[in-house]
Amino acid sequence: MQLTGIHHLTAISAKIRENHRFYTQVMGMRLVKRSVNQDDVSAYHLFYADGAGHPGTDLTFFDWPVPAERRGTHSITRTHLRVRGREALEYWEKRLEEQGVTAPRGITGRDGREVLDFEDLEGQRLSLVDDGGAGFEPTPWERSPVPAEFQIRGLGPIVISVPGITQTEIVLTEALGMRHARDYAHDSAQPNVRVYEMGEGGPHAELHVAIQPDLPVARQGAGGVHHVAFRTPNEEEYHAWTKRLNSLGISNSGEIDRYWFRSLYFREPNGILFEIATDGPGFGVDEDPATLGEKVVLPPFLEPHRASIVASLKPID
């Protein structure tokens, strides 16, 4: 039983209309599911992904009109998006500049890979990373403003910040079965980032843990991240993860059916929210793959309330 990589990452936006424009028109990702937060139906939950909405390509946002994040430790601090090759990074460096998005350091090296760091319009910290063609092959989005060869290939390493590594490492390695692969230095003279691998490893299956005891504790808000989800391939292993967390005394949400995947939530020792999510059934279970994301879709248990839910949502197109 192994986690196989990053499933999705969910962040927070207080400007959802501008968020929709940025991720579809600037970043060239496809809106594959236009839904609501199942625990707060007043808020959109938007899913951006590759052309088919494959697990491992989803960057999602809750529409919450909250103050900006206060940056610090005890938080998820950076999301990497995979592209292939130096040429792709050079394309993106030029494209972001043309779109008024600053990449202050330009293309640089980190952890043996070339990266391009930047932020979205609300300060969401992002990096494009050359994955060297590693990982699964995404489906290009035919209507993307970005040429197929340069489109986002999926999620890359996710970076979290903790003040100390001991308790977090126990959860990652002994509970979740991740492997400590290596350490590297980032904005420090000493190696202060520890890399953990899932499954077969590679940039799509890494969690990077920055050890930063001198930072204040973060306050979650707009421009920040809500949680990261890890992939499990099927419901059999999903149920096994539930039993494992319970057997280890790790407090968790219990199994939750999100309709497009099954979820299990818990927090690591610093309070960072993790999720284990199944690869299926997928976003095509209730929509024609050709028209994903074009209308508001609700899970069956919310359908009786469709009229009131949709009436409260503001247009984003």
3-state secondary structure of 150: helix
Q: What's the pTM?
A: 0.97
Number of domains the chain contains: 1
State the amino acid at position 92 in one-letter form.
W
pLDDT value at residue 247:
98
The CATH number covering residue 200 comes to: 3.10.180.10
pLDDT value at residue 306:
97
In a domain, 317, yes or no: no
In a domain, 79, yes or no: yes
What value does the mean pLDDT of the chain take?
96
- For residues 79 and 275, give the distance between their C-alpha atoms in angstroms, rounded to a whole number: 16
In a domain, 38, yes or no: yes
3-state secondary structure of 131: coil
pLDDT value at residue 136:
85
In a domain, 121, yes or no: yes
In a domain, 82, yes or no: yes
pLDDT value at residue 220:
98
Domain containing residue 112: 6-311
pLDDT value at residue 241:
98
pLDDT value at residue 131:
97
Residue ranges in the chain modelled with pLDDT below 50: none
pLDDT value at residue 44:
97
In a domain, 316, yes or no: no
Q: pLDDT tens digits, residue range 78-106?
A: 999 999 999 999 999 999 999 999 999 99
CB within 8 A of 139, min separation 6: which ones? 50, 51, 52, 54
pLDDT value at residue 188:
64
Question: Could you tell me if 10 and 113 are in contact, meaning their C-beta atoms sit under 8 angstroms apart?
Answer: no
